[in-house]
Amino acid sequence: MMGVDGAKQNQLMYISLDDLVPQDHLLRAIRKKLDFTFIYEKVQHLYSPFGRRSIDPVLLMKMLLIGYLFGIPSERKLEQEITVNLAYRWFLGLDLGEAVPDHSTLSQNRRT
């Protein structure tokens, strides 16, 4: 008798991105060796103390680093890749349901 496996997706379950990223992944080594907090001091003068909160500059720099390391040719493609790649999300500190910054934001910040 032929078995048919219907779509069975759990609606609610606990997932740890840390458990899903291989221990030997390049981004794990980078995260372990590099402290990105120096970026805050370097870019602080570019931000106003007034207005709405910006996207974290460390997040933006990490996104660009992913693009360079993995040969992702455009900000639009980078946004798409980060949306679906669990290792990228883990490296950036984004939860599964958290929105990825728009590609236009990356482009604007790269020009600054």
For the chain, the domain total comes to: 1
The boundaries of the domain holding residue 22 are 17-47+56-111
Domain-embedded: residue 32: yes
At residue 15, φ and ψ (nearest 5 deg) are -125, 130
Tally of residues, the chain: 112
Domain-embedded: residue 2: no
Residue 78 banded pLDDT, cuts 50, 70, 90: very high
What is the pLDDT, as a whole number, of residue 4? 72
Domain-embedded: residue 26: yes
Kindly state the percentage of the chain with pLDDT values over 70.
90
How does the average pLDDT of the chain come out, rounded? 90
With a cut of 80, say whether residue 2 has pLDDT above it. no
Domain-embedded: residue 87: yes
The CA–CA distances, whole Å, from 60 to 20, 82, 99 equal 23, 12, 13
